[in-house]
Structure 1
Amino acid sequence: MLSFFRLLSALPIGLLHLLGAVMGWVTFALSPTYRRRFIANARQAGYGFGQVHAAVGHAGRMVFEMPRIWLGRLPPCTMVNEEVALRAYAAGRGILFLTPHIGCFELSVQDAARKWAATHGEITVLYRPARQAWLAQILETARNRPGVRAVPTTLAGVRQMIKSLRKGHAVGLLPDQVPPQGLGVWSPFFGRDAYTMTLAARLALQTGAAIIVARCERRSWGRGYNLFLEELEAPLSPTLEVAVQEINAAMERTIRQCPEQYLWGYGRYKQPRVDPLVSAATASQQEQA
């Protein structure tokens, strides 16, 4: 499987996107469960299928571009509004890059690391170790590319993220990812309660890090990507539950800027799983709150 991934990583991004778009529509056609969830999630946000149907192909593009982003030469990416990050770095503040499941979110951290890691330190990201040996091998290579440091969803991993932010370095998170039971709260997302991680809000409140919302959009015909950076509209509330709601609202705003590249098929409203690997991290967060 690793050899297959390496083969895909050598293909042009345009070809990968073409293959991915076809696979996205095949999956949509063959999976009633996925199709219902896609349409229901889009409707919850106020979109009809005709408004976001392009997201079907983009979901497939996301899958097929992964080998290139993880193992191959990074494709061209233009950063928009990079001064918001430069101001935070100049002030000596840590940066919490937050991106929802939109566009090529894997490239967001890679491009930021390519641009700033040499002068401002590695960007730390959180990951859950894969159970399959072949996937774990791929992720070990992919998540630790130059300028990126991957830490596990454990007490030690959370502590490393806090340490990095307090040093003035950056951390990347997907705040719309459903966390395990005990690491989130139920909070509105497009008008419906979704189990939402508290980690992003806790990290910002504990370290004073600047929050920057990132959105990496695909250009048409495999011509690369645009990485948009935006500051929050206002500082986070010191109350954790309110801060979580504010982060959800920020994710909604950035999704509405490019709804045709959001993963509407993601199970955002599912029940959280029970994961013993994060129990220590849960206790640590509660102690430090």
Structure 2
Amino acid sequence: MSSLFRLVSALPLRWLHAVGALLGWVVFLASPTYRRRFLDNARLAGYGLRQVRAAIGHAGRMVAEAPRLWLASEPPACEVRGAECVQQAWARGRGIVFLTPHIGCFELSVQAAARRWSAQYGSITILYRPARQRWLAQVMQTARNRPGIAAVPTTLQGVRQMLKALRAGRAVGLLPDQVPPQGMGLWAPFFGRPAYTMTLAARLVQQTGAAVVLARCERLPRGRGYVLHLQPLAEPLASTIDAAVLQINQAMEQLIRQSPQQYLWGYARYKQPRAEMHTTGDTGTAAEGRA
């Protein structure tokens, strides 16, 4: 299977996106559960199928492009817009917490940022949960530890490494709309409905004074590449954890509304958190999600 992944990684991006779009529609039409969740989540945000139907194909493109993003020696073209806010954040010297929802090519967000800034400011640290399948775990380990990226496990030790990176003035990346395990988050509104939301992103900022940069990696038509949009958080992060988590959810909503056609509306954002035992420490939480 890993050989197939490597073969697929060599295909042109436009081919992968064409096949992926078809795959997205096949899954949407074949799975009533997925289709219902997609439509319900979009409806909560005020969108009908006509407004977000392109997201069906983009979900498939996300799957089809993964081998190329993980294994290709030459990464896809990615223009960076809003780099000035990142430069301002580096100038503060307290590190950066990059936050991106499940939108567009979020896998490429960290790769593009690492290519742009890691040589000068050090690797970007992300949380990483190994796949259950051995072959896929090996592929993903190679992919996640690309130059300029430090992938750490979703454990207390991984969280400590993120704190260490921020305190050294480096950057970390998180997907704050990912549902964390039970006990590792709190319930907060997301498009008006309570969603179990990680507290890790807010705690990292509160404990280190790091800057928050919001990221959205847009997939361009016909395999022409990507655009990474970067912007600062509109207001300083709140000092209380409940308010900070809500503020981050609201920031993710704003990013999604910038490009609802590329959001993963089929993601089970409102599911009950799974039970999982973790040891807590000075972070006040444990590993929550991955980037």
Structure 2 portions without partners, runs of 5+: 287-291
Q: 1:148 to 1:287 in 2, by over 3 A?
A: closer
Query: In the alignment, what sits opposite 1:39?
Result: 39
Equivalent of 1:285 in 283, 286, 289: 283
CA distance in structure 2 between the aligned counterparts of 1:61 and 1:130, rounded to whole angstroms: 20
Q: Distance in 2 between matches of 1:275 and 1:116?
A: 35
Residue aligned with 1:67, SS: helix
% identical aligned pairs: 65
Residues 1:265 and 2:266 aligned together: yes
Query: Using a 3 Å threshold, how does the CA distance of structure 1 residues 44 and 90 change in structure 2: closer, same or farther?
Result: same
Q: CA deviation at 1:274?
A: 1.1
Q: Which deviations, in whole Å up to 9, do the C-alpha atoms of 1:218-260 show, x marking residues without a partner?
A: 1111000010001111001100010000000000000000000
Query: What residue identity is the alignment partner of 2:59?
Result: A
Q: Deviations over 1:56-91 (max 9, x none)?
A: 000000000111111112100000010000111122
CA–CA distance in structure 1, aligned partners of residues 118 and 199 of structure 2: 26
SS at structure 2 position matched to 1:272: coil
In 2: Cα distance, 1:40 partner to 1:191 partner: 12
CA shift at 1:287, angstroms? 7.7
Question: What is the alpha-carbon distance in structure 1 between the residues aligned to residue 197 and residue 135 of structure 2?
Answer: 30
Q: 2:252 & 2:95 partners in 1: Cα distance?
A: 20
Partner of residue 52, structure 2: 52
1:239-254 equivalence runs, <5 A: 239-254=240-255
Looking at structure 2, the residues matched to 137 and 183 of structure 1 have their Cα atoms a distance apart, in angstroms, of 27
**Which residue pairs with 2:25 in the alignment?**
25
Provide closer, same or farther for how the CA distance between residues 133 and 243 of structure 1 changes in structure 2, counting only shifts above 3 A: same
**Counterpart-to-counterpart distance in 2, 1:274 and 1:74:** 37
Alignment of 1:138-153 (within 5 A): 138-153=139-154
- Residue pairs, 1:159-198, within 5 angstroms: 159-198=160-199
Q: Distance in 1 between matches of 2:226 and 2:17?
A: 12
Task: Say if 2:218 is the partner of 1:220.
Answer: no
Per the alignment, residue 120 of structure 1 pairs with 121
What residue number does 2:289 align with? none
* Structure 2 counterpart of 1:5: 5
Q: Distance in 2 between matches of 1:287 and 1:71?
A: 33
SS at 2:102 equivalent: coil
Q: Which runs of structure 2 are paired with 1:85-96 in the superposition (5 Å)? A: 85-96=86-97
Matches within 5 A, 1:203-218: 203-218=204-219
Gaps of 5+ in 1: none
> Which amino acid in 1 is paired with 2:158?
G
Q: Is contact 1:155–1:284 with CA below 8 Å preserved after alignment?
A: no
Q: Give the partner amino acid of 1:194.
A: A
State how many pairs are aligned.
Answer: 285
Residue by residue over 1:91-122, the C-alpha shift from the partner in whole angstroms, topping out at 9 and shown as x without a partner, is: 21200000000000000000000111111000
**Separation in 1, partners of 2:4, 2:84:** 39
TM-score (norm 2): 0.96
Which residue is equivalent to 1:275? 276
